[in-house]
Chains A and B, each alone.
Chain A
Amino acid sequence: MKRLNKSKLAWALALAVAPGILNAGPIKFDFKDPKKVNNVVFLLDAPLESISGTATGVSGTVSFDPAKPMETTGKIVLTTSSLHVDNPAMKDHMHGEGWMHVSKFPTIEFVAEKLTGVRTSGTTTTATIAGKLTVKGVTKKVNVPVRLTYLKGQLIKRNRVPGDLLVLRSDFTIKRSDYGINAGNKEEKVSEKIELKLRVAGAAPR
Chain B
Amino acid sequence: MLVCLSRGLAVDSRRVRLTLRLAALVIGCSGLVLWLVGGLHMGWSKSTETRTEIDEVTGLEYPVTENKYVLGVELLGATLAVSGGLFGLSLAFRNPTRPDKQPGAETSSTQL
Asked if A201 and B55 make an inter-chain contact with CB atoms under 8 angstroms apart, the answer reads yes
Given A38-B62, A39-B62, A56-B63, also A87-B45 (CB < 8 A): yes
Expressed in whole angstroms, the Cα–Cα distance for A154 and B58 within the complex equals: 9
Contact of B44 among A41, A84, A90, A154 (CB under 8 A): A90
Asked if B62 and A88 make an inter-chain contact with CB atoms under 8 angstroms apart, the answer reads no
Contact of B58 among A36, A37, A87 (CB under 8 A): A37
- Whether A165 sits at the interface, judged by CB under 8 Å, is yes
**A199 to B, closest residue via Cβ:** B60
Asked if A165 and B50 make an inter-chain contact with CB atoms under 8 angstroms apart, the answer reads no
Asked if B57 and A199 make an inter-chain contact with CB atoms under 8 angstroms apart, the answer reads no
- Whether A157 sits at the interface, judged by CB under 8 Å, is yes
0/1 string, A153-171, CB within 8 A of B gives 1: 0100110000001010100
- Whether B65 sits at the interface, judged by CB under 8 Å, is yes
- Whether B100 sits at the interface, judged by CB under 8 Å, is no
Asked if B63 and A165 make an inter-chain contact with CB atoms under 8 angstroms apart, the answer reads no
* CB-defined contacts of B57 to chain A, threshold 8 Å: 151, 154, 157-158, 165
**A37 to B, closest residue via Cβ:** B62
Expressed in whole angstroms, the Cα–Cα distance for A171 and B44 within the complex equals: 26
Asked if B62 and A167 make an inter-chain contact with CB atoms under 8 angstroms apart, the answer reads no
Tell me the minimal C-beta distance from B104 to chain A in angstroms. Answer: 59
0/1 string, B16-31, CB within 8 A of A gives 1: 0000000000000000
- Whether A54 sits at the interface, judged by CB under 8 Å, is yes
Asked if A87 and B46 make an inter-chain contact with CB atoms under 8 angstroms apart, the answer reads yes
Which B positions have Cβ atoms within 8 angstroms of A? Answer: 43-50, 55-63, 65, 70, 72
Which A positions have Cβ atoms within 8 angstroms of B? Answer: 36-39, 41, 54, 56, 84, 86-90, 149, 151, 154, 157-158, 165, 167, 169, 199-201
